[in-house]
């Protein structure tokens, strides 16, 4: 495609007190606690609004993303002209980015309740309604890989809709975020689309080396040793879930730096009946993470050793809330305004990692005058 020059209409924006230039504005659908919003802001994009149905996300989002307006609403029930009427968003704005990282439990390979997630499996269809109404210059989407392969996926409809309404450039791939500065094996479907003919878009370029767990947690990275059940009442929130005596014994018998439940499989006092005769499956459950590998995918249950390989590499506990947030590349001063471990972990586990969001935004912000990145 021939890339032509485009106008440069930048406005002032401040990040960490530094004045930068930004020509782009974004609306973050399904924003949750603000991982995508924060990352886009760090890239130099002015996020004007975030929308989510989760009332528990509101305070966290607003506290950490004060230039954006949090809209507590069900996207299914939000009128297409809402942003036009309420915050002056214009149609056919070449510098507008609509972001749609809809809940993805239905398409996840994890053993979750698919009946419960049925209501959210077609949220991209609702997002497409806003894309069609506003026809922004750019569209960003992030979701689980299963949205590509699932037989009931909404993705084919969404892609056809983009093409039908004039989005001639669509780039997408399934990426491993450990190659994009995120220290976990988090595989996700990523998409950038544009209806503009004067830009040549692409996804972020992967790093040559993967980000590792050792790079971000541990005492040398500001995480003091703590026991299971530790309560951190400061905003740092280095809080861990408690463990039963039996689970503490299991972890104490699990080899440091990557051990798993097979280390105590032959101990009748520690082995669980559901694992008897199943040494070849579910080996991550009750396992410890490896220092010199990316962490396991951070889910909403990363605070529990019974829900995956979420044991600390050395200490007899699961990851703390702040460790999970750091693996998701939230900055250490990102404050989670919640009232329980489970609520905080939900915001963290469901988030788009901030660093990957920053890189997505950067690929757009660094469009040169000739339209390439």
Q: What is the pLDDT of residue 118?
A: 55
Closest CA to 179 of 370, 355, 367, 363: 355
Helix axes 354-365, 35-43, angle to 10 degrees: 40
- Paired residues of 318 in beta bridges: 311
R_g of the chain, CA atoms, integer Å = 21
**Residue 173 phi, psi (nearest 5):** -170, 165
Residues 181, 356 contacting (CB under 8 angstroms): yes
104 is catalytic: yes
In order, the DSSP letters of 26-83 are: EEEET-TTSHHHHHHHHHT-EEEEEEES-GGGHHHHHHH-TTSEEEE--GGGS-TTHH
Cβ-contact 191, 160 below 8 angstroms: no
Q: If you count them, how many residues does the chain have?
A: 373
Helix (H, G, I), strand (E, B), or coil: what is residue 87? helix
Strands lying side by side in the sheet with 46-52 = 69-72, 46-52, 25-29, 96-100, 138-143, 187-194, 169-176
Rounded Cα gap, residues 246 and 88, in angstroms: 58
pLDDT confidence of residue 366: 87
Q: What is the pLDDT of residue 45?
A: 96
- Residue 24 and residue 196 in contact, taking contact as beta carbons nearer than 8 Å: no
Give the residues across from 98 on adjacent strands: 27, 139
- CATH code of the domain made up of 11-207+354-365: 3.40.50.150
- In this structure, the dihedral spanned by the alpha carbons of residues 271, 277, 280 and 282, taken in order and rounded to 10 degrees, is -50
Q: Are 99 and 140 in contact (CB under 8 A)?
A: yes
pLDDT per residue of the chain (373 residues) written in tens, 0 to 9: 334 434 444 444 445 544 444 689 999 999 999 999 999 999 999 999 999 999 999 999 999 999 999 999 999 999 999 999 999 999 999 999 999 998 865 545 555 554 555 565 689 999 999 999 999 999 999 999 999 987 888 999 999 999 999 999 999 999 999 999 999 999 999 999 999 998 899 999 999 999 999 999 999 999 999 999 999 999 999 999 999 999 999 999 999 999 999 999 999 999 998 888 787 777 889 999 999 999 999 999 999 999 999 999 999 999 999 999 999 999 999 999 999 999 999 999 999 999 999 999 999 998 754 455 5
Catalytic hit among 31, 101, 104, 247:
104
Beta bridge partners of 21: 12
Residue 280 is predicted with a pLDDT of 76
Indicate the burial class of 119 (C-beta count within 10 angstroms; 0-12, 13-18, 19 or more).
exposed
Query: Looking at residue 94, what is its pLDDT?
Result: 96
Question: Which pLDDT score is estimated for 198?
Answer: 86
Q: What is the pLDDT of residue 216?
A: 98
- For the whole model, what pTM was predicted? 0.90
Q: Which of 196, 174, 98 is nearest to 140 (CA)?
A: 98
Q: What is the DSSP letter of 278?
A: -
Residue 129's Cβ-side half-sphere holds a number of Cα atoms within 13 Å equal to 14
């Amino acid at each position: 495609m021939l890339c032509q020059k485009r106008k440069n209409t930048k406005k002032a924006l401040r990040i960490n007190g530094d004045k930068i230039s930004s020509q782009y504005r974004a609306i973050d659908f399904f924003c949750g606690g603000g991982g995508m919003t924060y990352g886009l802001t760090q890239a130099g994009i002015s996020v004007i609004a975030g929308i989510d149905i989760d009332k528990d996300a509101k305070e966290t989002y607003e506290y950490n993303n004060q230039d954006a307006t949090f809209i507590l609403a069900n996207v299914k029930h939000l009128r297409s002209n809402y942003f036009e009427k309420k915050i002056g968003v214009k149609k056919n704005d070449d510098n507008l980015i609509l972001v749609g990282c809809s809940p993805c439990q239905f398409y996840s390979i994890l053993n979750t309740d698919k009946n419960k997630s049925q209501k959210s499996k077609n949220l991209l269809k609702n997002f497409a309604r806003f894309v069609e109404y506003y026809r922004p210059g750019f569209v960003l989407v992030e979701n689980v890989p299963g949205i590509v392969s699932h037989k009931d996926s909404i993705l084919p409809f969404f892609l056809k809709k983009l093409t039908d309404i004039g989005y001639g450039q669509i780039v997408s791939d399934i990426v491993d975020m450990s190659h994009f500065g995120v220290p976990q094996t988090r595989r996700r479907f990523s998409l950038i689309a544009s209806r503009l003919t004067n830009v040549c878009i692409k996804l972020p370029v992967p790093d040559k080396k993967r980000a590792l767990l050792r790079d971000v947690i541990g005492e040398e990275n500001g995480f003091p040793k703590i026991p299971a059940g530790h309560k951190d009442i400061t905003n740092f929130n280095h809080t861990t879930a408690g463990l039963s005596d039996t689970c503490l014994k299991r972890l104490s018998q699990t080899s440091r730096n990557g051990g798993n439940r097979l280390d105590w499989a032959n101990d009748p006092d520690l082995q669980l009946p559901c694992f008897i005769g199943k040494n070849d499956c579910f080996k991550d459950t009750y396992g410890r993470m490896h220092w010199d590998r990316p962490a396991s995918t951070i889910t909403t249950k990363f605070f529990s050793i019974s829900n995956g390989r979420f044991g600390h590499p050395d200490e007899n506990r699961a990851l703390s809330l702040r460790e999970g947030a750091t693996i998701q590349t939230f900055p250490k001063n990102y404050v989670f305004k919640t009232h329980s471990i489970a609520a905080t972990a939900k915001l963290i586990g469901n988030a788009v990692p901030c660093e990957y969001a920053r890189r997505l935004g950067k690929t757009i912000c660094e469009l040169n005058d000739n339209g390439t990145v």
